[in-house]
Amino acid sequence: MAHYDFDLITIGGGSGGVRASRISAGYGARVALIEAGRLGGTCVNVGCIPKKLFSYAAHFAGDFEDARGYGWSVTNAAFDWSTLLANKDREIARLNGVYARVLADAGVEVVAGRAVIVDPHAVRVGDRMLTAAHLLVATGGHAVKPEIPGAELGITSDEAFYLDALPRRAILVGGGYIAVEFASIFNGLGVATTLVHRGGQLLRGFDEEIGVVLAEELAQQGVALALNEQVRELARDGAGLQLRLQSGRDLATDLVLFATGRRPNVAGLGLEAAGVALAENGAVRVDDFYRSSVPSIHAIGDVIDRVQLTPVAIAEGMALARTLFKGEPAALDYANIPTAVFSHPHVGTVGLTEAEARARHKAVTVYRTRFRPLKATLSGASERVFMKLVVDRDSDRVLGAHMVGAEAGEIIQGLAVALNCGATKAQFDATIGIHPTTAEEFVTLRG
């Protein structure tokens, strides 16, 4: 490899690209990372981190209400959007610096600029040409708007993190995790919020009951739901906007956020000219070891459109580094990947949905419960927790665990370990619960 400038050139400084670069350098590889924007990618800059911070902020309105039932008198509580934005920006800048230091400490050369792949071993960045034995595409994805008249008047989640002021009214278009999370954020911050979705089911791809329960909980909290509605047009209406639906309904609003999908970032990279095969949506086609149709070019993360989660991209990056520079071919197991949605209430899930389990297994038993959590007994809140276990009847193995309720992600993370260890329902039942907690319900579920 000595005739190349580097052993690995990574294009993209998100979580997956940074981890692949750092681990590869740790194995002794000479690594360069090219990034046109800020380090950390979508997750750090316009995704997981700022969104969770906004979610925390939106939770306080409910917390203040709950406090009354516990003897607290909360008066003159006021929210300031500009303070939240400034504090969020400061934290993101800190994380950008952390990523830069991690790469520098590992000996990775960071090159600022936009990369274009010239051939299977060469990348051009501005006037500079870099070569490497291996190229890694870790460029992530981007939000897309629907192809309707006036779509340019709406925003995506990227812009939501930089609004000059909170709108008085907001409409979220979509039924996936981004739509329900931002619906909860805006609603929690006092914005009159409507969620418009073309289907009748929220969170498609999750267990069906999760979407039903979440829709009920969102409605209880004041989010207006317009399901089975197709968006026809977005137009200006004086100082506001008018969202026109195929059904003939017109919805007046001050802001429309489209959460209608994402696509891989491949435009202008030179992938097709280099011979790299792409899927219909632009995703890089790779084998089990993240190698594209060109053996020296690899890809991980959202750009391959397998599982669009930050921890998955990180795991893929680590597997690739081991494969290329440690001599240990590593493929990722995509089964039992836990997922959380930070809507209000939270959603947590791991393993098979009920529908998937019934399609793959001869006999399935489902255990479910829905109850008022202890905290709500004094606060008077209307929230209810939903929990569900999907079990293979023949082996007694737990195939899936699903939850809607406070801290669902924290609870499901532990259950993911159990599912990966092949835990049975009998083993769940034999586990002593921590009382009084919501989590204990998962080990007390009975048919």
Indicate whether 331 belongs to any domain. no
pLDDT band at 1; cut points 50, 70, 90: very low
By residue count, the chain amounts to 447
Task: Let me know if residue 130 belongs to a domain.
Answer: yes
Last residue of a domain, one of 325, 355, 371: 325
Does residue 174 sit within a domain?
Answer: yes
Domain boundary among 290, 325, 360: 325
Read off the pLDDT of each residue in 231-238 and give the average, rounded to a whole number.
96
Is a pLDDT exceeding 50 seen at residue 376? yes
Last residue of one domain, picked from the residues 240, 259, 278: 259
Mean pLDDT of the chain: 97
Helices (H), 47-133: 48-68, 81-106
138 lies in the same domain as 267: yes
Residue 194 lies in a domain: yes
Q: Are residues 134 and 270 in the same domain?
A: yes
- 28/176 same-domain check: no
* pLDDT above 70 coverage of the chain, percent: 100
pLDDT of residue 127: 96
Helices (H) and strands (E) in the chain, counts: 12, 21
Residues 201 and 136 in one domain: no
- Burial of 165 from C-beta contacts in 10 A (0-12 / 13-18 / 19+): exposed
The answer to whether residues 278 and 133 belong to one domain is yes
**Do 255 and 367 share a domain, yes or no?**
no
Dmax of the chain from CA atoms?
72
9, 4, 16: which is closest to 33 by C-alpha? 9
Give the N- to C-terminal CA distance of the chain in Å, as an integer. 61
Say how many domains are in the chain: 3
Q: What is the pLDDT of residues 318-329, one digit of tens each?
A: 999 999 999 999
- The CATH number of the domain holding residue 402 is 3.30.390.30
Average pLDDT over residues 4-29: 98
Cα 78 to Cα 65, 187, 190, 270, 397: the distances in Å are 13, 15, 11, 51, 49
Q: Within a domain: residue 333?
A: no
Catalytic, 435? Answer yes
> What is the Cα–Cα distance from 339 to 181, expressed in whole angstroms?
14
Entry pTM: 0.96
Does 287 fall in a domain? Answer: yes
List the CATH number of the domain containing 191.
3.50.50.60
Span 73-119, pLDDT tens digits: 988 899 999 999 999 999 999 999 999 999 999 999 999 999 999 99
User: Running DSSP on this structure, what letter comes out for residue 135?
Assistant: E
Query: Is pLDDT at 425 greater than 70 in this prediction?
Result: yes
DSSP helix/strand/coil, 75? coil
The amino acid sitting at 54 is F
Question: Could you tell me if 121 and 231 lie in one domain?
Answer: no
Q: What is the pLDDT of residues 170-211, one digit of tens each?
A: 999 999 999 999 999 999 999 999 999 999 999 999 999 999
What burial class does residue 350 get, using C-beta atoms within 10 Å of its C-beta: 0-12 exposed, 13-18 middle, 19+ buried? buried
Q: Tell me: do 51 and 131 sit in the same domain.
A: yes
Catalytic pick from 134, 197, 346, 435?
Answer: 435
Average pLDDT over residues 204-222: 97
Residue 447, pLDDT score = 75
* 373 touches 404 (CB < 8 A): no
| Domain presence at residue 332 | no
* Whether residue 174 is found in the same domain as residue 219: yes
Cα–Cα dist 84/96, whole Å: 18
Residues 305 and 228 in one domain: no
Inside any domain, residue 1? no
Query: SS3 for 118?
Result: strand
Question: What is the domain extent for residue 439?
Answer: 339-443
pLDDT for 135 equals: 98
What average pLDDT does the segment 252-260 reach? 98
At 244, the pLDDT band (50, 70, 90 cuts) reads very high
132 with 14, same domain? yes
- On the question of pLDDT at 2 being above 70, the answer is no
Domain co-membership, 230 together with 133: no
The whole-angstrom separation of Cα 384 and Cα 96 is 38
Lowest-confidence region among 2-6, 140-144, 189-193: 2-6
